[in-house]
Amino acid sequence: MSHGHRQAPALPADAHPLLHKVNPEHGRRLKALPCDLAWATTWMSDANDMLAPLLGLQPLPVVDWPDSDEVGVLHWKTRGLVEWAQGRPFVWVDDEISYADQEWVSTHHQAPALLHRVDPRRGLTERDFAVIESWLMQTR
């Protein structure tokens, strides 16, 4: 019995252990967002090889992470994302965003930015998409 969800392609037995958590329907939702998408992940360019096909996405730009000696409460991605954004508004969705990251971005990035933390046990939910969509519509 089908519930309207596309079935994810079969994964090889040695595939990444988290790939089974990818919801293929999220690709459609991500493509519908009124923004440019990019990967900001430790998967680096592998995201285009492993995640994009599961989500039905074309290859996306990848934020390149320099070697980081980041110590303290600031997430190691924070400075790199602000640099990558080059003064443009951006949304960062991650399961490790903290108040320290939000404060640092608000101080060091002049354009609007939404740092949205997702629950790592649930991934992106309808509520998360609603927050992101609302912010994007208000920021246009």
The reported pLDDT for the residue numbered 7 is 45
Model pLDDT for residues 72-96, shown as the tens digit of each residue: 789 999 999 999 999 999 999 999 9
Residue 46 lies in a domain: yes
d(CA 88, CA 69): 25
Residue 39 lies in a domain: yes
d(CA 117, CA 32): 20
Model confidence, pTM = 0.84
The reported pLDDT for the residue numbered 3 is 43
Residue 133 lies in a domain: yes
The total of structural domains in the chain comes to 1
Residue 8 lies in a domain: no
The reported pLDDT for the residue numbered 74 is 92
Residue 13 lies in a domain: no
Residue 85 lies in a domain: yes
Residue 124 burial (10 A CB sphere; 0-12, 13-18, 19+): middle
Residue 12 lies in a domain: no
Structural domain boundaries enclosing 65: 21-139
The reported pLDDT for the residue numbered 83 is 95
Residue 7 lies in a domain: no
Taking 70 as the pLDDT cut, the residues of the chain under it are 1-17, 68-71
